[in-house]
């Protein structure tokens, strides 16, 4: 990629205050995009640090607090971004949570929280961000699915359902907006080294590593590279796809 391949573009990245979302925001900024850093209230300080990291490198960024489960909050977030920069070109539906448990022990609240954040949140963000993309007849929508959404994971019925639903949503919306020069794709990471995976017991880590061909966990920066490619004009003929990034698990 050229150093400023996304110059002039505006990106909105959900859940961008840390982890994979932070790496995505930093990568998109390094390619010239202005970046809106979505976060929840508890992540305000971390979001400010991401904005500072971008601006210190000469980029443009803004924090946008919003609970993506709430329609009015998402609408206001999108409005705030377009008020400042006039448009949204790239949406990365990255925000997600887990509330793991075996199905018979899973509470209704745990099911609803995961579905509402991971699936409904992507639906709302896509719905409101699309209006800007349709107007300019150019856009990139990239959603964070998971290997769990493809093969399923025991103890993650809610998470796997949300990520599998995100794949079907991606394929459906790609058909709707393709004629407007808007691509819609999903990526399906395997085990990426984040705060969540770092907390896994050592025995569990070893068991997971034994299933991965490359014998290591992925890095957030590697996921960000794939997102950046899909956001660029180099991926203009890729839409409705689910691309795995899992080290050959």
Q: Is residue 41 part of a domain?
A: yes
Residue 118 DSSP symbol: I
Q: Is residue 4 part of a domain?
A: no
Q: Is residue 126 part of a domain?
A: yes
- Residue 1 is predicted with a pLDDT of 45
Task: Tell me which residues are annotated as active site.
Answer: 159
Q: Report pLDDT digits (tens) over 32-78.
A: 999 999 999 999 999 999 999 999 999 999 999 999 999 999 999 99
- Residue 200 is predicted with a pLDDT of 79
Q: Is residue 249 part of a domain?
A: no
Q: Is residue 3 part of a domain?
A: no
Q: Is residue 2 part of a domain?
A: no
Q: Residues 226, 243: contact at Cβ < 8 Å? A: yes
Residue ranges making up the domain that contains 136: 10-243
Q: What is the CATH number of the domain that holds 105?
A: 3.40.50.720
The tokens for 3 are: 């150093």
Q: Is residue 55 part of a domain?
A: yes
Q: Is residue 28 part of a domain?
A: yes
Residue 218's DSSP bridge partners are: 192
User: How far is residue 214 from each of residues 33, 149, 162, 226, 248, measured CA to CA in Å?
Assistant: 32, 21, 27, 18, 7
- The tally of domains found in the chain comes to 1
* pLDDT surpassing 80 at residue 3: no
């Amino acid at each position: 990629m050229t150093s400023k391949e996304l110059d002039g573009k505006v990106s909105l990245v959900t859940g961008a205050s840390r982890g994979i979302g932070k790496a995505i925001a930093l990568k998109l900024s390094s390619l010239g995009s202005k970046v809106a850093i979505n976060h929840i209230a508890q992540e305000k300080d971390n979001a400010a640090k991401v904005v500072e990291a971008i601006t210190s490198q000469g980029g443009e960024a803004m924090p946008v607090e919003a609970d993506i489960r709430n329609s009015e909050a998402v609408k206001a977030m999108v409005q705030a971004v377009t008020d400042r920069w006039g448009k949204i070109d790239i949406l990365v539906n990255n925000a997600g949570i887990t509330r793991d448990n075996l199905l018979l022990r899973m509470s209704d609240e745990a099911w609803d929280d995961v579905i509402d954040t991971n699936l409904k949140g992507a639906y709302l963000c896509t719905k409101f961000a699309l209006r800007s993309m349709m107007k300019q007849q150019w856009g990139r929508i990239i959603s964070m699915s998971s290997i769990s959404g493809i093969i399923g994971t025991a103890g993650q019925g809610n998470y796997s359902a949300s990520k599998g639903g995100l794949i079907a949503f991606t394929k459906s919306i790609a058909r709707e907006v393709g004629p407007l020069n808007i691509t819609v794709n999903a990526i399906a990471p395997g085990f990426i080294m984040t705060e969540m995976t770092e907390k896994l017991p050592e025995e569990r880590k070893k068991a997971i590593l034994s299933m991965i061909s490359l014998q290591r966990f992925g890095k957030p920066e590697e996921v960000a590279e794939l997102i950046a490619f899909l956001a660029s004009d180099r991926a203009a003929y890729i839409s409705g796809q689910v691309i795995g990034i899992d080290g050959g698990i």
